[in-house]
């Protein structure tokens, strides 16, 4: 009885165990028991032994400090490294047209596995390289490059409205530089005319820089292009000039640079910069510096700079053509903004004609620079103050350079204090020995002459004689005397000069005044290292508001007229004095 009872209990226990196992199998998806009953799968293999844990890797050593980064390379240097062949000028030309995007570069390989060391210290930042933000060819044929730092570069004349630049080469290509536009459809550019490899494909409206053309075969001849630094070819009849201004291209009369004073308003008057403007042409100014823009329009540009430094002023002559703006002429200059230096203790002399002797310029300078000692055998009174100078009404550069005395208007005669009887010529050494034997030398001399010479080339020759005599005296006493030569402003377009000879038109006078600027610029421009400065005082003069204006009786009644194209009103002289002061601030910083 007991045996049976024990056996029954064992069978019940085995059954319970099988039930539990069956339940667990069903909870896990019923895989191992059910499939085991199928008999199709082999027996499970034995579990592998657990692997032994590896030892922890050692910490990596600290990374070394990074070296200072090298200065960033220029865009041109990077282009050379990337395979471009050619001069800087050729590279600039290649930028005139942007090609298609290059293929994506391949991914770099992963570094080898290993234990990371600690981060090394950052190296010092290298200086940013300067790239090219924009390049275009103006219709007067100059390649204008705008760099990423705001600098404007005038790369020089590369076209003359598509003008030929020489004789055809051995392949019959006449050198030209002009912007052309692709006509309808796509077209292959090849590295050899007709049969070469395809360099790229251009589409309708694409603009290209053409550097040569086979003119003897207009229908089937080829053009040569510079595209992304590579010379390529296509038939000429697929292209046309993008734009060709058929009027008189204006000439922009700008110096290389101008100096402005921080916090003082300065003007740039269009009529003093552009020779003429045909109907439809406008002028646009673009300044890279900061400050209050008092006026910004086609007639001029005025700014009160609020930051010292060197900036660029770009002047463009534009026309609206078929809904787009085309540039027909463009130039730029460097604008140097300097701080006031009212404590300048200097000795100076101003030499000139009636525009100096009338006293406005010297009075303005004396008030602005109270510590400057002025030299001169003539005097201007300003209240109780007496200001010396060397201004003589009606005198020319030739008079100062060659004459012992001059009688003006048959009324009065003035002696020339610079005339050395022993040499019969201008001598600054003689002047100093006779009138200022105890003064070593002046620090600067300002010269304003030219109007009474008729704005002639001979006037500049006499000015050169005067300037070299001053510099020679300075060298003899071991001192660099700074010589500031003032320019001449243009007569107003609608003004007239009552004493002007009847056979001299106002237009020809204005042309002579512009030509005179070119003469002065050739003789005295960019000579700062020699101590000679050409002052662009003409830039700020307004043809009407800064000149002497009076009411005159005419056939139409009383009218306000500009009766003198030589002399300025008080505002004009203040502007000229501001230019002189700015240069003195910069020179004697």
In terms of domains, do 295 and 414 share one? no
In terms of domains, do 154 and 229 share one? yes
C-alpha to C-alpha distance for 48 and 53, rounded to whole angstroms = 15
| Three-class secondary structure of residue 52 per DSSP | coil
User: Which residue in the block uniquely carries the two structure tokens 């830039």?
Assistant: 539
Whether 572 is in a domain gets the answer yes
Residues 126-155, mean pLDDT to the nearest whole number: 54
Q: What is the reported pLDDT for 97?
A: 40
Judge contact between 462 and 498, C-beta under 8 A.
no
By mean pLDDT, which of 238-247, 259-268, 361-370 is the weakest? 238-247
Judge contact between 93 and 132, C-beta under 8 A.
no
Rank 145-154, 157-166, 449-458 by mean pLDDT and report only the highest: 449-458
Whether 17 is in a domain gets the answer no
- pLDDT band at residue 264 under the 50/70/90 scheme: very high
Whether 576 is in a domain gets the answer yes
- pLDDT band at residue 392 under the 50/70/90 scheme: very high
C-alpha to C-alpha distance for 123 and 377, rounded to whole angstroms = 65
β-pair type (152-157, 142-147) = antiparallel
* Among the listed residues 326, 330, 331, 332, the one whose alpha carbon sits nearest the alpha carbon of residue 179: 326
In terms of domains, do 278 and 395 share one? no
Number of domains in the chain: 3
* Among the listed residues 382, 445, 463, the one whose alpha carbon sits nearest the alpha carbon of residue 584: 445
Query: Which CATH number covers residue 226?
Result: 2.30.30.40
Query: Which CATH number covers residue 453?
Result: 3.40.50.1110
In terms of domains, do 294 and 416 share one? no
Per residue in 394-403, pLDDT tens? Answer: 999 999 999 9
In the chain, % of residues over pLDDT 70: 67
Work out the end-to-end distance of the chain between its first and last CA atoms, rounded to an integer number of angstroms. Answer: 129
**Is the pLDDT score of 40 beyond 90?**
no
**Is the pLDDT score of 139 beyond 50?**
no
The half-sphere exposure of 572 on its side-chain side, counting CA atoms within 13 A, is 22
Q: What is the reported pLDDT for 192?
A: 92
**Is the pLDDT score of 487 beyond 90?**
yes
Q: What is the reported pLDDT for 98?
A: 37
C-alpha to C-alpha distance for 433 and 229, rounded to whole angstroms = 64
Rank 66-75, 104-113, 372-381 by mean pLDDT and report only the highest: 372-381
CB neighbour burial string for 307-328, b if at least 16 within 10 angstroms, e if fewer: eeeebbbbbbbbbeeeeeebbb
Q: What is the reported pLDDT for 402?
A: 96
In terms of domains, do 334 and 353 share one? no
In terms of domains, do 581 and 499 share one? yes
- pLDDT band at residue 30 under the 50/70/90 scheme: very low
Whether 252 is in a domain gets the answer no
In terms of domains, do 334 and 355 share one? no
Task: Check residue 209 and report its DSSP letter.
Answer: E
**Is the pLDDT score of 218 beyond 60?**
yes
Per residue in 503-540, pLDDT tens? Answer: 356 677 788 888 899 899 999 998 999 999 999 999 99
**Is the pLDDT score of 162 beyond 60?**
no
**Is the pLDDT score of 474 beyond 90?**
yes
How many C-beta atoms lie closer than 10 Å to residue 402's C-beta? Answer: 15
- pLDDT averaged over every residue in the chain: 77
Q: What is the reported pLDDT for 387?
A: 95
CB neighbour burial string for 451-467, b if at least 16 within 10 angstroms, e if fewer: bbbebbeebbebbbbbb
C-alpha to C-alpha distance for 512 and 248, rounded to whole angstroms = 18
C-alpha to C-alpha distance for 63 and 548, rounded to whole angstroms = 76
**Is the pLDDT score of 140 beyond 50?**
no
In terms of domains, do 289 and 377 share one? no
**Domain of residue 233, residue span:** 86-97+132-244
Task: Check residue 274 and report its DSSP letter.
Answer: B
């Amino acid at each position: 009885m007991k045996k049976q009872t024990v056996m029954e209990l064992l069978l019940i226990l085995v059954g319970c165990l099988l039930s539990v196992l069956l339940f667990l199998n069903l909870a896990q998806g019923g895989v191992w028991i059910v499939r085991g009953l199928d008999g199709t799968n082999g027996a499970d293999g034995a579990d592998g032994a657990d692997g032994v844990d590896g030892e922890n890797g050692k910490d990596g050593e600290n990374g070394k400090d990074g070296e200072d980064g090298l200065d960033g390379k220029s865009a041109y240097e990077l282009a050379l490294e990337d395979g471009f062949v050619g001069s800087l000028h050729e590279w600039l030309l290649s930028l005139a047209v942007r090609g298609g995007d290059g293929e994506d570069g391949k991914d770099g390989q992963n570094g080898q596995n290993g234990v990371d060391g600690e981060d090394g210290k950052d190296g010092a930042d290298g200086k940013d390289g300067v790239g090219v933000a924009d390049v275009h060819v103006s219709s007067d044929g100059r390649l204008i490059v705008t760099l990423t730092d705001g600098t404007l570069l005038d790369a020089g004349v590369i076209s003359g409205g598509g003008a030929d630049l020489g004789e055809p080469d051995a392949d019959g290509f006449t050198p030209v530089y002009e912007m052309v536009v692709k006509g309808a459809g796509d077209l292959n550019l090849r590295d050899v005319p007709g049969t070469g490899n395809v360099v790229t494909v251009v589409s309708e409206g694409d603009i290209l820089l053409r550097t040569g053309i086979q003119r003897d075969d207009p229908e089937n001849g080829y053009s040569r292009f510079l595209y992304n630094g590579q010379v390529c070819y296509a038939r000429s009849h697929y292209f046309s000039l993008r734009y060709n201004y058929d009027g008189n291209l204006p000439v922009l009369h700008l110096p290389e640079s101008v100096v402005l004073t921080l916090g003082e308003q300065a003007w740039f008057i269009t009529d003093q910069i552009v020779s003429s403007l045909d109907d439809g042409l406008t002028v646009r100014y673009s300044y890279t510096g900061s400050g209050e823009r008092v006026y910004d329009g086609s007639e001029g540009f005025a700014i009160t700079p609020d930051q010292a430094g060197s900036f660029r002023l770009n002047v463009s002559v534009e026309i609206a053509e078929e809904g787009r703006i085309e540039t027909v002429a463009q130039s730029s200059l460097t604008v140097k903004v300097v701080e006031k230096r009212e404590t300048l203790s200097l000795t100076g002399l101003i030499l000139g004609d009636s525009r100096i002797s009338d006293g406005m310029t010297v009075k303005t300078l004396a008030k602005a620079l109270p510590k400057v000692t002025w030299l001169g055998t003539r005097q201007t009174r300003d209240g109780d103050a007496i200001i010396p100078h060397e201004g003589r009404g009606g005198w020319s550069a030739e008079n100062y350079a060659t004459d012992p005395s001059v009688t003006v208007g048959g009324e009065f005669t003035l002696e020339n204090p610079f005339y050395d009887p022993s040499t019969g010529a201008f001598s600054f050494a003689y002047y100093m020995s006779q009138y200022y034997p105890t003064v070593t030398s002046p620090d600067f001399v300002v010269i304003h002459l030219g109007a009474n010479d008729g704005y002639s080339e001979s006037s500049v020759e006499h000015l050169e004689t005067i300037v070299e005599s001053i510099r020679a005296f300075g060298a003899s006493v071991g001192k660099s005397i700074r010589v500031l030569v003032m320019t001449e402003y243009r007569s107003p377009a609608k003004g007239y000069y009552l004493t002007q000879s009847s056979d001299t038109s106002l237009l020809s006078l204005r042309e002579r005044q512009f030509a005179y600027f070119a003469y002065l610029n050739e003789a005295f421009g960019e000579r700062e290292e020699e101590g000679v400065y050409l002052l662009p005082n003409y830039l700020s003069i307004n043809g009407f508001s800064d000149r002497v204006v009076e009411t005159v009786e005419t056939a139409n009644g009383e009218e306000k007229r500009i009766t003198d194209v030589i002399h300025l009103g008080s505002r004009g002289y203040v502007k000229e004095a501001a230019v002189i002061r700015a240069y003195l601030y910069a020179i004697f910083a």
